Chain A
Amino acid sequence: MTRTRRPSAQTIAVLAALAEQPARWRYGYDLCTQLGVQAGSMYPILMRLADRGLLETTWESEHQPGRPPRHLYRLTGAGVAYAAAVPPGPEAAPQPVRRPRPQARHA
């Protein structure tokens, strides 16, 4: 049976962010900061996309000394096609991490 469940707004946002430059490898935390999605939500999304064959992963070959190599992500061909097929909902727009706090009014 084909899965027809619509992805969540956050998943759509992740797909859209990755589909902007499909050939570019991205860090998970960079996606978190770009989309304003917490790591606790972002990585399960990435795991599910990878489980479904929509996302490919690799380890960075060049990394800073003293730091372990980081995981990199980009869409597969099927992932690019899936991202193009999923219509972006109005709620799926990426949100910045730090929103400007409204100025308090002083009477």
Chain B
Amino acid sequence: MILLLALATMATVLVLCHPGRDGDLPQRIVVAATNRLPADRHTWSRALVAELAAVDGFGRRWRFAAGVARIALFPPARQPTTARTTAAIGCAATVVTTLATLRFLPTLSIFVAAFGLMTSAGATAIACRRPRSSTGSAHLVAAALAVSGVLAAVGAVIALAATHPAATRDQTHIFSLVLAATLTAYLITGLSATAPAKVTPLTVWSGVAGAGGAVLASAIVLPTGAIVALIPPITVAAALATGTLVGVATRNRVAAARAGVIAAVLSMPAHFAIAVIAAQSARPTTLTNPYDIAAYARSGSPDVASYVLGDDLAGNIVSLATTLLAVYAAAAVAAVAPRSSIEPTA
């Protein structure tokens, strides 16, 4: 994971500092950020880029770029009441669930608080960007699949923590924070697939079908007990098959890549939940002999349950999530002019 993060950081820096690109770093940030503004703010995107050209001074340009990045993340909402309501509900739900977790499952409180805050911020950002137009059924199904998968993953962690409290007793809380950030990223990415302006229904339906097929294949393999080892190949195969089929059907590379990514993103939280539950039920304890204990002692985990959780988290979900996030980050930074590569809406 550290290697992937380092690679993602290096790729981002290399793309930002590429000498072939126009302008200084603040200008590239502004161009990339304004390209992420909603389509109905296109005039403002041009205005912000033009305004930066008149801003002199290193610090002033950086402050301006930081402000534009903030606008890109939380643009003025077309439906401000919806955005405010979303933020208020998210904050209230986070406070209530965190207090409840502190009372009943204190080892999960950091995870719940972090997940709630990040999810609320993500939901508010999506609400700010949501256009007035209605959402199609394909996008609603994709959103429902994303929410269901993340809820299943959270439910699996809660079940594990309730059964084995030591599994989430992480003094550094690093796994709690990583898991919260990962699941939030999955949720936001899945919900972003509901932006009808950028993704056609065919792409979304294909991604949903690929994710559904992957989860179904996992359910079929589940009784064999080999589910944990087979999940990454199943996910990769589903993503590749989905992307290939969409590419053949549409002859559009962007659509094919998006469909494959949607399939992988939507299936992984459900896979994570399946893997955690399957690993627990298939081998509730691996401490069958002194050699296991010796090996376990070097695992760095306080008990078997935490080893399972950490193994699933690091092995199954974080690696793929980090890869996907790295791809998205590189694409976001590299896409100085992404509007030309936006998948045409049929």
Contact of B64 among A29, A44, A47, A68 (CB under 8 A): A29
Nearest chain A CB to B34 CB, angstrom units: 10
Decide if A24 is an interface residue (CB 8 Å cutoff).
no
Given the complex, which residues of B lie within 8 Å of A51, measured CB to CB?
76, 78
* CB-based contact A68/B67 at 8 Å: no
Nearest chain B CB to A100 CB, angstrom units: 18
Contact of A69 among B50, B67, B71, B76 (CB under 8 A): B50
Given contacts A27-B54, A51-B78, A70-B54, contact A43 B48 (CB under 8 A): yes
Given the complex, which residues of A lie within 8 Å of B70, measured CB to CB?
40
Given the complex, which residues of A lie within 8 Å of B260, measured CB to CB?
none
Given the complex, which residues of A lie within 8 Å of B69, measured CB to CB?
40
Task: Please classify the interface of chain B as helix (H, G, I), strand (E, B), loop, or mixed, using the class held by over half of its residues.
Answer: helix
Given the complex, which residues of A lie within 8 Å of B66, measured CB to CB?
40
Tell me, in angstroms, the Cα distance from A28 to B64 when the chains sit together. Answer: 11
Given the complex, which residues of A lie within 8 Å of B78, measured CB to CB?
51
Nearest chain B CB to A64 CB, angstrom units: 8
CB-CB contacts below 8 Å: A2-38 with B: 27-29, 38
Given the complex, which residues of B lie within 8 Å of A47, measured CB to CB?
41, 44, 75-76
Tell me, in angstroms, the Cα distance from A86 to B346 when the chains sit together. Answer: 46
Tell me, in angstroms, the Cα distance from A58 to B67 when the chains sit together. Answer: 22
Query: CB-CB contacts of A66-107 with B at 8 A, as 1s and 0s?
Result: 011111000000000000000000000000000000000000
Tell me, in angstroms, the Cα distance from A57 to B70 when the chains sit together. Answer: 22
Given the complex, which residues of A lie within 8 Å of B47, measured CB to CB?
28, 43, 57, 70-71
* CB-based contact B71/A29 at 8 Å: no
Query: CB-CB contacts of B30-50 with A at 8 A, as 1s and 0s?
Result: 000000000001011011111
Q: How many of chain A's residues have a CB under 8 angstroms from any CB in B? A: 19
Task: Please classify the interface of chain A as helix (H, G, I), strand (E, B), loop, or mixed, using the class held by over half of its residues.
Answer: helix
* CB-based contact A27/B76 at 8 Å: no
Decide if B292 is an interface residue (CB 8 Å cutoff).
no
Tell me, in angstroms, the Cα distance from A57 to B261 when the chains sit together. Answer: 39
Tell me, in angstroms, the Cα distance from A28 to B46 when the chains sit together. Answer: 13
Given the complex, which residues of B lie within 8 Å of A71, measured CB to CB?
43-44, 46-47, 50-51
Decide if B68 is an interface residue (CB 8 Å cutoff).
yes
Nearest chain B CB to A82 CB, angstrom units: 17
Contact of B63 among A28, A39, A57, A70 (CB under 8 A): A39
Decide if B295 is an interface residue (CB 8 Å cutoff).
no
Decide if B53 is an interface residue (CB 8 Å cutoff).
yes
Nearest chain A CB to B5 CB, angstrom units: 27
Decide if B55 is an interface residue (CB 8 Å cutoff).
yes
* CB-based contact A70/B76 at 8 Å: no
Query: CB-CB contacts of B181-219 with A at 8 A, as 1s and 0s?
Result: 000000000000000000000000000000000000000
Given the complex, which residues of A lie within 8 Å of B64, measured CB to CB?
29, 39
Given the complex, which residues of A lie within 8 Å of B80, measured CB to CB?
48
* CB-based contact B76/A48 at 8 Å: yes
Nearest chain A CB to B31 CB, angstrom units: 11
Apart from A39-B64, A70-B47, A70-B54: 14 A-B pairs, beta carbons within 8 A: A28-B51, A38-B67, A39-B48, A40-B66, A40-B71, A43-B48, A43-B71, A47-B41, A47-B75, A48-B76, A57-B47, A69-B50, A71-B47, A71-B50
Q: Which residues of A contact B (CB under 8 A)?
A: 27-29, 38-44, 47-48, 51, 57, 67-71
5 contacting pairs across A/B (C-beta < 8 A): A27-B51, A27-B54, A40-B67, A40-B68, A69-B50
The 8 closest A-B pairs by CB, nearest first: A40-B67, A39-B67, A71-B47, A40-B70, A68-B50, A44-B76, A47-B76, A67-B53
